[in-house]
Amino acid sequence: MDVRAQISMVFHLDKCIGCHTCSIACKNIWTDRKGAEYMWWNNVETKPGTGYPTKWENQEVYKGGWEKRNGTIALKGAGKKKGLLNIFHNPNLPVIDDYYEPFTYKYLDLIESPAADDQPTARPVSLITGKPIDIKMGPNWDDDLSGTPDYARQDPNLENLSPAEQEAMFQLERMAFFYLPRICNHCLNPACVASCPSGAIYKRGEDGVVLINQQVCRAWRMCVTACPYKKSYYNWHTGKSEKCILCYPRIEAGYAPACMHSCVGRIRYLGVVLYDADLIEGAASSDTDNLVDNQLNMLLDPFDPRVIQAAKENGVADSTIKAAQYSPVYKFVKQWGLALPLHPEFRTLPMLFYVPPLLPVMASLSEQNTRQGEKMDPIAKFWPDNWLYDTSTEELWGTIDQARFPLKYMANLFAAGDEAKVKAVLKKLMAVRIHRRGVTVGDIPPEKVEQAMREAGLDADTAEEIYKLTSLAKFDERFVIPPAHREQAIEMLEFTGDTKGSVGFGFKEKPQRGL
Amino acid sequence: MNRYVLLISLVVVLPNLTSSGQTGSTDASALFQSKCGICHTVGKGRLVGPDLAGVNDRRPEEWLLKFIHSSQAMVKSGDPDAVALFEEFNKTIMPDPGISDTEIKTILQYIAENSGASGGATAYESVLADAGSEEVEHGRKLYNGNIAFANGGPSCIACHNGLSGTYFSEKSYAKDLGASFSTLGEQGVKGILENPPFPVMARAFLNKPLLPEETRALLAFLQQADPQQAAKAAVKPGSGFMLYGLLGAASLILVFSALWYSRKSKSVNHAIYKRQIRSIN
């Protein structure tokens, strides 16, 4: 048993309101620099949708992540042989048009234009060329547009859904969508680290944050190809690749990362989990059916004396073990089994988990609503279709089976296609709601509540705990950040005054392209 | 291809080797030999250029001065006599000797004095009568620089084209010597080899003259190379080459488009962008 600590995250999608505050917080702190304008280390996508960069989930296009071959795994689009073959031209690299061309407006024209007959306008200019452009795309261009053929219907997760199911998702007035905030997953088996020819990317020992050493990076951009989540970005100005750093300077100081700190919906949870590094290879190369189970099996019980013993032997600090015991992530992922990894089939063992949205609580019933038509004026427009939303919980799980998002779609996102896993999570979420409704409103008979809890495998205390951590959790309960132990980390011994007063990343040696 | 133009691209004014302070008939003779004698004779028949015996009588002195200073300038200005001469001698350019009016007059004086002296042309005797293939091979090696000249002169290929049957004529610093024999004749080539009239070549071989046997071997090689070069010039390269090139390119395009059929060739947003209306010109 090789016990290590990993700072892990849970995003509760039912709570996300799609306000993009996280993206803006991240951009303001980290990527408001030349060459980084197009990067969104944190972005929020509308699902169904194609995301950012467009169709990032389609690995037939971008060749990211790992694929299983002969019982083991290999990088899909990078690695030694493929890297050498594509050394001068990497065909799977996303181009700027796959993201979007960053732009600003010439605001100064509004106040500095000479007097004329026409109102001055602020023309959009490219942040890359500086010339006027037509804005063609933005990082969340498909925001809230889950019904458009350009975006929502191109969603790679619609694979394996029947045409009827797909059509049902996009029916007018029945259309539904949810938000998927994404940051770097700080994977346990990161493809970006494996692909880097320069060895510039590493996973930090003390907390598992994946970082790119800006002084070692040689602009091969293999990480951009290899990361299946497309969360490594190439800075064309500095000639280095960059990615989410999980705000490690904030974490070291005991603050939550900027995106989590600013989250309006309080959907984000952060904490330490202990895992067994010996199991990484086995978990990453397991069969698709067992991927999620094997990944979750790697996470260890921080209360188990043997685990604690092994962790101590491995140099994990006592304070970190204590943080792991209070970790909200461990509760959501392991204790309650409510959170699942995003696209486990990429085999990178992502350490960012999502509580899938139960959002379409209002399921549709397929019955003709003729009574309403009788009541209405004969000339009134009336749809006698089955678009009747039913909020009753008469049939406890019927609503989940007939959800507006087919279970298959959710399973494609969070469980490598295994519907049972998603269903189990949704059942638990539903049971907690039924339980709380029984407590607060009291219009659900106790037998029904009990039946729901039994079928979901929960007891009243657990449901109450889930409810509290979901709805009432305070800052310190959502973010359990282990102390940074500055005295042990050599890189922290550098004098911070060197960069104090300067903005953002900063470089001690200014990176330049070419010789 | 009987046109043979000795194109002197770099007209450098050689430091005047014959000091201008010297006078007298021996000096005049030496001056004539060094500046004119390779291509011209006085009363011994035409070599590369015409026999100069009686030239003072044929042309006015003013014309001669101008012509000797720069024959090409006169040809270009359209002087009918100069053009006629140029045409008569296969458009062989007479290099500007770079000497002063007084020196030219000395030479003209020398020509005038010797014009009546000799009686008719003496036949040039070929030195290549018994040259065998070994001699030719030796010449080729000297030409190509496989064997260095004994006195340390640069090998021919340093400035001239290779003559060993390459398909394309490569660019060279000095003239292609392929047809030198048929244009200048053995005597002319021999004269140039023994005493180069061209400024750059003269400078290159200054104090490093060729040995007689080296000259002979080179002559043998150039004589043997001459008909080959003529035959080569008759072949027009191009049409077949172009065809094969196009076929090759087409097959490469086919192979790679098959190989890279599923490659990502444009942005995934291409279709969306294509529909958008442009407003920026």
Whole-number Å distance between alpha carbons of A85 and A240? 21
Say yes or no: A221 and A79 in one domain: yes
Q: What is the total residue count of chain B?
A: 281
**Residue A290 and residue A238 in contact, taking contact as beta carbons nearer than 8 Å:** no
Say yes or no: A420 and A325 in one domain: no
In the structure, what pLDDT confidence band is assigned to residue B86 with cuts at 50, 70 and 90? confident
**Residue A237 and residue A505 in contact, taking contact as beta carbons nearer than 8 Å:** no
∠ CA B206-B209-B210, rounded to 5°: 145
Search chain A and give the residue with CA nearest B268: A98
∠ CA A408-A414-A417, rounded to 5°: 40
Say yes or no: A185 and A285 in one domain: yes
Instruction: For residue B259, give the amino acid letter.
Output: L
The verdict on residue A250 lying in a domain is yes
Q: Mutate which of B257, B262, B269, B274 to disrupt the A interface (most A C-beta within 10 Å)? A: B269
Say yes or no: A177 and A315 in one domain: yes
Q: How many beta-carbon pairs below 8 A join chains A and B? A: 37
Domain boundary among A352, A383, A400: A352
Whole-number Å distance between alpha carbons of A36 and A33? 5
Whole-number Å distance between alpha carbons of B255 and B252? 5
Most confident of A414-423, B12-21, B200-209: A414-423
Most confident of A7-21, A398-412, B7-21, B172-186: A7-21
Say yes or no: A336 and A363 in one domain: no
Whole-number Å distance between alpha carbons of A430 and A333? 17
Domain count, chain A: 2
The residue segments making up the domain with residue A261 are: 3-100+137-352
Consecutive H or E run containing A29: helix A21-29
* Per-residue b or e along A346-384, where b marks 16 or more CB atoms closer than 10 Å to that residue's CB: bbbbbbbbbbbbbbbbebbeeeeeeeeeeeeeeeeeeee
The verdict on residue A496 lying in a domain is no
The verdict on residue A194 lying in a domain is yes
The verdict on residue A158 lying in a domain is yes
Say yes or no: A71 and A205 in one domain: yes
Q: Within an 8 Å CB–CB cutoff, is residue A98 touching chain B?
A: yes
**Which of the two residues, A478 and B65, has the higher pLDDT score?**
A478
**Residue B243 and residue A101 in contact, taking contact as beta carbons nearer than 8 Å:** no
Say yes or no: A380 and A242 in one domain: no
Whole-number Å distance between alpha carbons of B198 and A79? 63
The verdict on residue A483 lying in a domain is no
Whole-number Å distance between alpha carbons of B160 and B177? 7
CB contact under 8 A, B264 and A91: yes
Whole-number Å distance between alpha carbons of A515 and B31? 59
| Virtual torsion, Cα B26, B27, B31, B33, nearest 10 deg | 20
At B117 the pLDDT is 57
CB contact under 8 A, A150 and B264: no
The residue behind tokens 């491995």 is A314
**Residue B124 and residue B134 in contact, taking contact as beta carbons nearer than 8 Å:** no
Domain boundary among A289, A321, A352: A352
pLDDT digits (tens, 9 = 90+) for B98-125: 788 888 888 888 888 877 655 444 566 7
At A515 the pLDDT is 46
- Nearest CA-CA distance, residue B273 and chain A, Å: 7
Whole-number Å distance between alpha carbons of B218 and B143? 7
Concatenating the DSSP letter of every residue in chain B gives ----------------SS-TT--SHHHHHHHHHHHTTTT--SSS--SSS---TTHHHHS-HHHHHHHHH-HHHHHHHT-HHHHHHHHHTTTPPPPP----HHHHHHHHHHHHHHTTTS-SPPPPPPS-TT--HHHHHHHHHHHHTSS--TT-PPPGGGTSPP-S--SSPPP-SS---TTHHHHHHHHHHHHHHHS--SHHHHHHTTT-PPPHHHHHHHHHHHHHHHHHHHHHHHS--SHHHHHHHHHHHHHHHHHHHHHTTTS--S-TTHHHHHHSPP---
Neighbours of B21 (CB within 10 A): 6
Pick from A50-54, B3-7, B132-136: least confident: B3-7
At A384 the pLDDT is 55
Say yes or no: A25 and A174 in one domain: yes
Q: Within an 8 Å CB–CB cutoff, is residue B280 touching chain A?
A: yes
Of B263, B271, B276, the CB nearest to A134: B276
Q: Mutate which of A131, A136, A145, A154 to disrupt the B interface (most B C-beta within 10 Å)? A: A136
Q: What is the 3-state secondary structure (H, E, C) of A211-242?
A: EECCCCCCCCCHHHHHCCCCCEEEECCCCEEE
| List of chain A residues with pLDDT < 50 | 364-367, 386-389, 391-393, 515
**Residue A278 and residue A328 in contact, taking contact as beta carbons nearer than 8 Å:** no
Nearest to A263 by CA among A23, A89, A3, A503: A23
**Which of the two residues, A26 and B227, has the higher pLDDT score?**
A26
Structure tokens at A139: 């990082």
- Nearest CA-CA distance, residue A96 and chain B, Å: 8
Q: Within an 8 Å CB–CB cutoff, is residue A133 touching chain B?
A: yes
pLDDT digits (tens, 9 = 90+) for B89-100: 777 778 777 788
CB contact under 8 A, B269 and A54: yes
Whole-number Å distance between alpha carbons of A236 and A514? 12
Instruction: For residue A342, give the amino acid letter.
Output: L
Q: Residue B180 pLDDT > 60, yes or no?
A: yes
| Virtual torsion, Cα A475, A478, A482, A484, nearest 10 deg | -60
Q: Within an 8 Å CB–CB cutoff, is residue A135 touching chain B?
A: no
ipTM of the complex: 0.74
Consecutive H or E run containing A348: none
Neighbours of A45 (CB within 10 A): 24
Say yes or no: A168 and A222 in one domain: yes
The verdict on residue A333 lying in a domain is yes
The verdict on residue A164 lying in a domain is yes
At A397 the pLDDT is 56
Whole-number Å distance between alpha carbons of B73 and B79? 9
Q: Within an 8 Å CB–CB cutoff, is residue A91 touching chain B?
A: yes
The tally of CA atoms less than 13 A away on the side-chain side of residue A433 is: 16
- Nearest CA-CA distance, residue B268 and chain A, Å: 6
Q: Residue B126 pLDDT > 60, yes or no?
A: yes
Chain B residues touching residue A62 (CB < 8 angstroms)? 264
Say yes or no: A179 and A227 in one domain: yes
Q: Within an 8 Å CB–CB cutoff, is residue B273 touching chain A?
A: yes
Most confident of A23-37, A87-101, B2-16, B133-147: A23-37
Cα dist. B206→A94, B211, B255 in Å? 66, 13, 58
| Virtual torsion, Cα B191, B192, B198, B204, nearest 10 deg | -120
At A388 the pLDDT is 47
Structure tokens at A332: 């959501």
Q: Mutate which of A90, A97, A145 to disrupt the B interface (most B C-beta within 10 Å)? A: A97
The residue behind tokens 């029947």 is A162
Whole-number Å distance between alpha carbons of A103 and A105? 7
Sign of torsion over alpha carbons B12, B16, B20, B24: negative
Say yes or no: A271 and A394 in one domain: no
Chain A residues touching residue B267 (CB < 8 angstroms)? 95, 97-98
At B18 the pLDDT is 39
- Does this model's pTM top 0.80? My answer is no
At B133 the pLDDT is 83
**Beta strands A3-12 and A352-355, pairing class:** parallel
CATH class of B25-114: mainly alpha
The domain that holds A279 is classified in CATH as 3.30.70.20
Whole-number Å distance between alpha carbons of A279 and A293? 12
Sign of torsion over alpha carbons A310, A312, A315, A318: positive
Burial of A209: CB neighbours in 10 Å, binned 0-12, 13-18, 19+: buried
The verdict on residue A279 lying in a domain is yes
Chain A residues touching residue B280 (CB < 8 angstroms)? 132-134
CB contact under 8 A, A134 and B269: no
Domain boundary among A294, A321, A352: A352
Say yes or no: A343 and A457 in one domain: no
At A32 the pLDDT is 92
Whole-number Å distance between alpha carbons of A193 and A213? 11
CB contact under 8 A, B268 and A133: no
CB contact under 8 A, B269 and A133: no
* Range list for CATH 1.10.760.10 in chain B: 25-114
At B174 the pLDDT is 78
Most confident of A293-297, B53-57, B62-66: A293-297
Q: State whether residue A419 is helix, strand or coil.
A: helix
Neighbours of B254 (CB within 10 A): 10
Q: Mutate which of B260, B263, B264, B276 to disrupt the A interface (most A C-beta within 10 Å)? A: B264
